[in-house]
Structure 1
Amino acid sequence: MGLFSLSNKTILITGASSGIGRSCAVQCSKMGASLLLMGRNVDELNRTVSELQPGTKVEMIVADFSKMVDLELLIAEKILTIGKIAGFIHCAGVEKTLPLKKQTSEVFQSIFDINVFAGFELAKIISLKKYKAEKASFVFIASVAGMVGESGKTIYSASKGAVISGARSMSMELARSDIRVNSISPAMVKTPILEKMFDGIGEEASQNIIKKHPLGIGEPEDVANACVFLLSDAAKWITGTNLVVDGGYTAQ
């Protein structure tokens, strides 16, 4: 494993019950990490656990970020058995395509609650000395939507832009605590969310989206492998950056 090893590191992953979050859990377990997995669906979290490397030390937190929960209490309890946090990946997120005229303050709040505020709140908690390892790395899953415009994505794009810029400022603040903070911006990745979207827009529209990716649609592990890199000691001099993992989408 070498520099990319995550042995002796405990990694907290939100949204670990499906898609990119599940893949992050699997790839981190392959690199020797212990895992604290968060998600809303206990059955899907258990499925994620079943795909981990045999012998992986793992704990689960079943929580819904759209509802008020005492995150610190939940984390403090688990750290007693899993160990202090050396890595954090915020994968939990919601996607919404909605014309501007139909956007409401409730929709705005619900998207920002999960995509932005939940991740930042968790970062605040685990940046405390009593919860973090000596050195730590935080990775926020943003999106190319936070960099380029797309019709119907005003609120979603705004949330991902907030993740990118917020993570950059957070990196400046937490550097003195030996915490690196970066974001990753994927383009379209083969997840249940994408499959549902393709089913809704039809074959022709789906193919037009695929053609915008010179290397094709990505796999969840393409993003997960980038996360492993940023969590590992191989990235020890990288902070405050937004790593674009998009199959060439934004190069055009």
Structure 2
Amino acid sequence: MDRVKGKVALVTGGAMGMGQAHSELLAAEGAHVFICDREIEKGEAVAQSIAAANGRAEFIRLDVTSESDWDAAIARIKQKAGRLDVLINNAGILVLKPAHETTTEEWDRVFNVNVRGVYFGTRAAVPLMKESGGGSIINISSIYGMVGAPSAGAYIASKGAVRLLTKSCAVDLAPFNIRVNSIHPGVIDTPMTKNLLHSDEATRSAILGPTLLGRPCQPKEVSQAVLFLASNESSFVHGTELLVDGGYVAN
């Protein structure tokens, strides 16, 4: 317990799925969590649930593609908590199409959330992290930021961009004691994948692909990796990618 006690964390996409799991676990381990999402009712419900369990959480309405939303979110965190120790760039969307069938609008939408959102978040958070004496930025990429797969061209390109953006930021932010790492989950059982994983067996098998453990990842299993990178236990982990994929990439 208390592995991140006293730390202040911002989680994007925190109202559901992996983001909710990250928020709940960080709060349970002592962090003051700011849940950021466009889904107001769901986000407020998560914050209330954490508070009911004696954790510290607040909801901030945030569209990760909006510079002004980011500026307002960081200003509010500075006002309420006075510092920022952990940024989890978790928000992401998926379009299931090969690149040659993806419309320009779909491509731009994926990159605006998955890449521009990470860029905006990092840029907005760094000044407050510097004031706080350092911090940990955790970017949620994917196994599809490591390997190719069918029918997800824009998503795969965006997650590959997040992987290398992470390394670039790690180089630039090391002098400020700000660690930057990416997590690469495998197939996760979340609202985004439920229609694929819980339809017919053939579809489920195809989606799991070469996952050696033969099952999808549960959101909290990714959150355990988030907790490690958010905590001082990972003080010498910097500029790397952490695979949480049940052996998908190894196979």
Q: Normalising TM by the smaller chain, what interval?
A: over 0.9
1:221 equivalent in structure 2? 220
1:159 equivalent in structure 2? 158
Give SS of 1:181's match.
strand
What stretches of structure 1 move > 4 A for 4+ residues in a row? Answer: 129-132
Task: Say which is worse superposed, 29-38 or 50-59, in terms of deviation.
Answer: 50-59
**Distance in 1 separating the partners of 2:220 and 2:40:** 22
Give SS of 1:47's match.
helix
- Taking structure 1 as reference, are residues 95 and 75 closer, same or farther at Cα in structure 2, changes over 3 Å only? same
TM-score, length-scaled by structure 1: 0.92
Give the paired residue count: 249
Q: Contact (CA 8 Å) 2:78, 2:128: kept in 1 or not?
A: no
Q: Quote the offset at 1:171 in angstroms.
A: 0.4
Give SS of 2:75's match.
helix
Q: Quote the offset at 1:132 in angstroms.
A: 4.8
Give SS of 1:17's match.
coil
Q: Quote the offset at 1:83 in angstroms.
A: 2.8
Percent pairwise identity: 28
- Taking structure 1 as reference, are residues 232 and 110 closer, same or farther at Cα in structure 2, changes over 3 Å only? same
1:17 equivalent in structure 2? 15
1:169-248 residue pairs with structure 2 within 5 A? 169-198=168-197, 202-210=200-208, 212-215=210-213, 216-248=215-247
Which of 37, 40, 54 lines up with 1:39 in the alignment?
Answer: 37
2:122 equivalent in structure 1? 123
2:27 equivalent in structure 1? 29
CA RMSD, Structure 1 to Structure 2 (Å): 1.8
Q: Quote the offset at 1:63 in angstroms.
A: 2.3
Q: Quote the offset at 1:107 in angstroms.
A: 1.4
**Distance in 2 separating the partners of 1:89 and 1:63:** 13
Q: Quote the offset at 1:179 in angstroms.
A: 0.1
- Code of the residue aligned with 1:104 in structure 2: it is T
Q: Contact (CA 8 Å) 2:14, 2:43: kept in 1 or not?
A: yes
Give unmatched runs, 5+ long, in structure 1: none
Give SS of 1:183's match.
strand
- List per-residue Cα deviations over 1:84-128 (Å, max 9, x = no partner): 110011110001111333212221111111111111111111111
